Structure 1
Amino acid sequence: MSAHEKVAILMVDDRPENLMALEAVLDSEHYLLVSAKSGEEALKKVLQYDFAVILLDVQMPGINGFETAEIIKQRKSSCHIPIIFITALSKANEHVSTGYLTGAIDYIFKPFNPIILRSKVEAFVQIYRKQQEIEEKNSQLEKQSVELQEKQNNLENIVIEKTKELLKANEELKVSHERFQKIFQLSPNLMAIRSLADQRYVDVNQSWIQFSGYQFEELAALTNDVLAIHSDTGEQNVAGASPKDLQVGIYNKEITYVTKKGERREGLLSTETATINGEPCVISTITDITELVDLEKEVSRLDRLNLVGEMAAGIAHEIRNPMTTVLGFLQLAKNQSHHPQPEEYINLMIDELHRANGIITEFLTLAKDKANNRKKKDLNEIVKTLHPLLRAEALMNNKVVLLDLTECPLLYLDEKEIRQLILNIGLNGLEAMEANGTLTLKTYISNENVILEIADTGPGIKKEVLENIGTPFFTTKDEGTGLGLAICYSIASRHCANIDVKTSEKGTSFIISFQQTAVETPQVANRLS
């Protein structure tokens, strides 16, 4: 047993033989016996140890046992320690009466009985141990109480913090809800919220009511699409006749919808899914572009009228020359009917008629409603097919044609028209370059569009020419008809593609962008054209 686990007992006597006698009687592995030969030494020991009991001799020089006991009892840290006075039988009555006044618990009279001494000390030791156990339990209970209080305080702090966070989140949610309501209700676009579960109309904004002609009360029991929305290609159920369709996000898809009065209007549809009040919903937005489409149609009609006038003048000018030649030779043949016409005259008239027919054919190629035969094609394969032809043309003038092709998805293309587009732009690029020039045909994907880029290293296109590029009958060539690039733009339009031109002193690039929407669904010419 370690020293700190033993119970400390203080024995105070000025005679060594008495201390030895006490030690002999009380010797035990459970006791820590501490000796003191005077009252002063005993007081010092009391400061060092926590004693279970003190055996105190009454008669000692200096501070006697009574005075020592009185001092011990006056101190708060030691007043609880039981004291057993050891006194002689000759003065027992005197010592007993005085001892009670100074705080004695019990008495042992010299010469003492070892059994009685040991039993009394053991009794006080048991009391001490019980007190220690009680104090230890109290200490544990106090510690547990403190820990519980700390946990409670921490829990209260956590609850306070969480409450603050919830209040803040609730306030932010409230502000967000108010903003959404303002945006939803005040938006100039038609906005509707429909449930993904049963497709009922949860809410519609004022613009939706104004454009459609329906009141929200009429929609309460409806689950179908009352606007009969169709895409511009005739696809139905764009807004979602089934939950599966409703979950598909759509962005600015051109559609038509029908109002309550049966009026068909144009719009751009966008949809997005969201959870509102715990219910999965789809928010659909229609930007009404009916007036814009009508305006574009009118502008397009006026442009066509203007173009017809310009083209009529151009055709008249271009065809008049061969017709004049043919007319002259025919009049000459009429006046000299008895003389056969030379073969070169006849060949010249045939060439002039072919020239006039070619001009008319190119003019017809400009028609945007021209029948086409579009199929899924690999743009790279079409470019590779034309590469030998362009390279042969380039080699005759000491020029180079390079290919830089990247794997691209299949597109719906009219191969003959795309070949014509590549040849027209490619041959123009070769003609624009001096010897040692390089023509590069490049394919790649950018912003989800398939790109065909035809770049030359010529001197570039002048600003005044660039402004009129693609205009029918506008040409800088002496023998050109001015229809080549106009046909290219027409072909691009029929393929839902855009042509961008970038030019500088280091060369010119024609960038043809085929939209990804044209990858899966072949569409007819732009309905606004």
Structure 2
Amino acid sequence: MEQQVKILAVDDRYENLLALNSILASSQYDIVSLQSGEEVLKYLLKESPDPIAVILMDVQMPGLNGYDTVELIKQRKSCQDIPIIFLTALSMSIEHVLKGYHVGSIDYLFKPIHPDLLKMKVDAFVKLHRYHQKIKVQSELLQMRTLELEESNRRLAQAETKLKEQNLLLEQWVEERTSELVDAHEKLMKSQEHFKKMFISSPCLMAIRRLSDYIYIEVNESWKHYTGYGDEIIGTAANFIRPELGEVVPINQVIHNYKVKYETKSKEIRTALLSTEIIDIEDEKCLLQVAIDITENLRYETEMARLAQLNLVGEMAAGIAHEIRNPMTTIRGFLQLFRDSKRKMEKEYIHIMLEELDRANNIITEYLSLAKNKRTHQQMEHLNRIIETLQPLIQAEAVMSGKHVQFRLDDCPELSLDDKEIRQLILNMCMNGLEAMEAGSTLTVETCKEAKHVVLKISDEGTGIHEEHLEKLGRPFFTTKDHGTGLGLAICYSIAARHHAPIEVQSSSKGTTFLIRFAIRSE
């Protein structure tokens, strides 16, 4: 079904509009009735989005007459092609007819209008309008197809250009890959030559075995030198390597620095670090075994450890002798004085000798506290509770020396602790920190919780510890104080070791911090 077309009927008399609607009544027409030139102009300017097939315009109207209205309509570009038929009942002179044609009308009808004539003329203009609309639509379609064709041609040209560029890039890529393959082949040949030279001349014991049956394919000179086995093991699956403590060596897995024993041809048992790697040789999986003989290194390390122990024992013996010799010399002096002068032993001298004996006994007691096998009595305790118990004592010591102490204790879980030993550790470290600071400085004691540890942090504002002294911390009888045995910090390290709590030291010119990490006991 064809779409309705719009027809404007313009007349100032309502009955004339009704007559026009009656004559032109049709389902194909949408007749818009207007009663003045002003209404026509407003309609064409604002209200009518659809094209108009024909305008039936009365000549004599109040305000704008038909001629003036048509002149204004024709000035609008979008309305210039609308056919206009003048209708009049007043003047039939040729001058008025010519004026109508002059302003832009295409026909001039006199009232009373013959209905069939009017209908035929309107039908003709409607057909013409529809024909123009079809031409317009076809023109638009043709223009759109032309644009699509131009766009297709443009894309085709771009695709052709791109294809040429891709072909050029493909040719370049093929040339580059060919060159790379040639270079890779040369590098592979050089790499194989380097591997062969390295394999033969390496100081490590090296052997290549087939992964499928562990048959020896090749061994190098170092293998022959250390094991005593040469070409006679090629083609065999003999195994001279065995792990320590009865473990199984994963022969078909990649391992690194696996400590093993191996037996030489002369039945000597030697130690080595074994590493393996799976490699391809002529499209066959093979196992490359690389071993570093550490037999002599272990002997050297054992001897060095023995000498270090002897040296440490000597240092400790010298320290004990030096510390105990002083009180022993004092006591011997008094006893010799009384023997030679035959004087009676006075009570004040007895008191001095007892003090010296107690000092020697305390040194021996502190030294015994260093023993790793000392029995501890650990139970679940709160570290904060132990610190709070010692807080008045540490605060009093700080006040006496004109220094300050601050405590920052976070909420921490219970730990497995020996109450007496932890008290001794905290007191020793706090006293050391107070002694290291000038008056007015502050000692800070903190606790906090990390992922799996509770951290005890003791920080002073002293001058710090020299770098060369850091590695000696915790060594018995080592001290930088003018007066001291050098056992206090060593005892702290021993207590921490019995609690499996590592000690970390951070020191600078602004002070020193000791961090002791206690492991949180899992459920």
Q: TM-score, normalised by structure 2?
A: 0.47
Q: TM-score, normalised by structure 1?
A: 0.47
